[in-house]
Amino acid sequence: MENYVITISRMFGSRGHEIAALLGELLQIPVYDRSSVEAMVQTPGTLQDPGTEGETSGRTEETGAPQGFMARLFRREAKDPAADEAQALFNAQAEVIRKLAEEGPCIILGRCGDQIFHGKKRCLNVFLYSPDEVRVRNCMEMLHTDENYARTLIASEDRARREYRKRFSADFPDEVAGRQLLLDTSAFGVEQSARILESAARYLFFD
């Protein structure tokens, strides 16, 4: 049977990272976020580093990706090198994410996972959000910072995530399209939010 995947998109400050981590524990499956995916893209033996020299026609053992794949992707041949590089990086990360899903059930946090797995039957796409004032309090608590900095950071992160989704998602700016669950985490807290998602996953994927 095809492995199931849970993709979690979230507003910054809605405690999505904590919820994803707890959900992974409840379901006993790994969680892959931006840092882990980027590390896999950059690690030799998974996908080759952009600076790798000596391309060959072979494939890497870990991913089955053509050796020198990243080097070719990062060639600055497009009219807009920055946009070309961003698309190349997204493509490389998407390849890694699909490979992870082939290896076993998993949770993908961010990275436009719902877009990467568009059309996949055994996939639960989730969007987590909270009111702005709650997000500010969460940031102040988690980062031990003041209100002004928390608001500035939220605005910056919102803008960055909006631009990322605009670039790589066909559903931008619709947060509903393609998602089965939208959850206000402020209404339930971290633990109960994770348990709601666990129940949804068990309903969809477990006999």
Domain locations along the chain: 1-29+107-207, 33-103
| Residues ≥6 apart with Cβ < 8 Å to 122 | 1, 2, 3, 4, 5, 204, 205
- For residue 184, the cross-strand partners are 129
pLDDT tens across the length of the chain (207 residues): 789 999 999 999 999 999 999 999 999 999 999 999 999 987 644 443 333 333 333 333 333 444 344 344 334 334 556 778 888 889 999 999 999 999 999 999 999 999 999 989 999 999 999 999 999 999 999 999 999 999 999 999 999 998 988 888 877 667 788 899 999 999 999 999 999 999 999 999 997
* Predicted pLDDT of residue 55: 33
CA 64 to chain centre: 21
Q: Where do we find the tokens 């996939």?
A: 123
In the CATH scheme, what is the code of domain 1-29+107-207? Answer: 3.40.50.300
* Predicted pLDDT of residue 3: 95
* Predicted pLDDT of residue 141: 96
Number of neighbouring beta carbons within 10 Å of residue 63: 21
This prediction has a pTM of: 0.78
